Amino acid sequence: MKKSIAQLADGRELIYYDADGSPARQAAPDLRPLDPVDSRPRLRRDEATGDWVTIAAHRQARTYHPPADECPLCPSRGGRLSEIPAADYEVAVFENRFPSLAGEAGRCEVVCFTPEHAGGFADLTPDRARLVLDVWTDRTAELSARPGVEQVYCFENRGAEIGVTLAHPHGQVYAFTAAPPRTVKMTAAAAAHRAATGRNLFEDLVARARAAEERVVLRGEHWTAFVPYAARWPYEVHLYPHRRVPDLTRLSEAERAEFPGVYLDLLRRFDRLFDRPDPTPYISAWHQAPARGGDELALHLELFTVRRTDDKLKYLAGTESGMEAFINDIAPETAARRLREAM
């Protein structure tokens, strides 16, 4: 993988990632007359729960559903200037102009998977999907090493139903300076399991899931995708490497080589779940151990959709939003069977 670092007109960092063997890149200058980014998100702790909440009022002005010919994530071509000054790219990463986290609150980056505006991650080639995996790994390593960063979170939102405001295939990387609530809960659960059994919670979880054939969606030599026993979302799949590692930087070459085929297969199954012309909306989230500590946690990817039938969505209403108590309308075993059949 080749890495070329550039700077946008307002001082934000831009990084081009190209596969080995690609031509040498000459970084194009950003010709836009941009003012410096003025973002001052603040972290506040909810005293009733201990959770951290980010206040990022500047994001009200962020770009919202632009037409395809004004997409800020497409390459700069034909006199139209975008966030990517180059006329073409393979994978590009840049600091978000409207970040949820910045400065002492962390950092937000945008990861553009492809220069093509149409399609999605499932349309990538295995080679491009592997390049994206290597980019996630590089960002995890670099951001984790920064002072104050507690956890690096790589994720993708797809679909207007999820709240996506830019249709171009892309994901994000957040560098948190405080561990998010889900990580705090998993850390506590892993510690309690170790104290009670002497074993690692996630190793036991994966072993039980792999033994429960009715919840397994697909398995490879190094990875298994399964619906969790207590799935919260209508269609929710967790993808684990068989060997417990804390984060993306610790994956072996064999695990990296197998990942693109398994993940692309999984995404395409999601798109075949519903009888609709539009692709299935989803959130794809990498859970990694905190940068310092958290050795009991295991790297895994959680993929889920808010769609529960062809014409119905799962809304987080009174119980979920008010009490954080999930109620799922679809049995995990049924969801796994439907995904296995979505060939």
pLDDT tens digits, 26-45: 879 999 999 888 788 899 99
Confidence of residue 279 (pLDDT cuts 50, 70, 90): very high
* CATH, range 2-179: 3.30.428.10
Cα–Cα distance for residue pair 228/19, rounded to 1 Å: 35
Q: What is the pLDDT of residues 102-156, one digit of tens each?
A: 988 999 999 999 999 999 999 999 999 999 999 999 999 999 999 999 999 999 9
Average pLDDT along the chain: 95
Instruction: Supply the pTM of this predicted model.
Output: 0.96
Equal CATH topology for 2-179 and 182-341: yes
List 58, 65, 170, 300, catalytic entry: 170
* Residue 287 annotated in active site: no
Any residues with CB less than 8 A from the CB of 290 and at least 6 apart, and which? 150, 151, 179, 183, 187, 297
Token pair for residue 201?
């919670």
- Segment 293-304 shows an average pLDDT of 94
Contact 156, 266 (CB under 8 A): no
Other Cβ atoms less than 10 A from the Cβ of 74: the count is 20
The predicted pLDDT at position 168 comes to 97
Would you say residue 62 has pLDDT above 80?
no
Cα–Cα distance for residue pair 333/9, rounded to 1 Å: 51
Question: What does the domain layout of the chain look like in residue ranges?
Answer: 2-179, 182-341
Confidence of residue 201 (pLDDT cuts 50, 70, 90): very high
Q: What is the pLDDT of residues 221-272, one digit of tens each?
A: 999 999 999 999 999 999 999 999 999 999 999 999 999 999 999 999 999 9
Confidence of residue 313 (pLDDT cuts 50, 70, 90): very high
Instruction: Please tell me the class of the 182-341 domain.
Output: alpha beta
Cα–Cα distance for residue pair 331/163, rounded to 1 Å: 26
Paired sense of beta strands 2-7 and 42-45, if any: unpaired
Token pair for residue 124?
């990538």
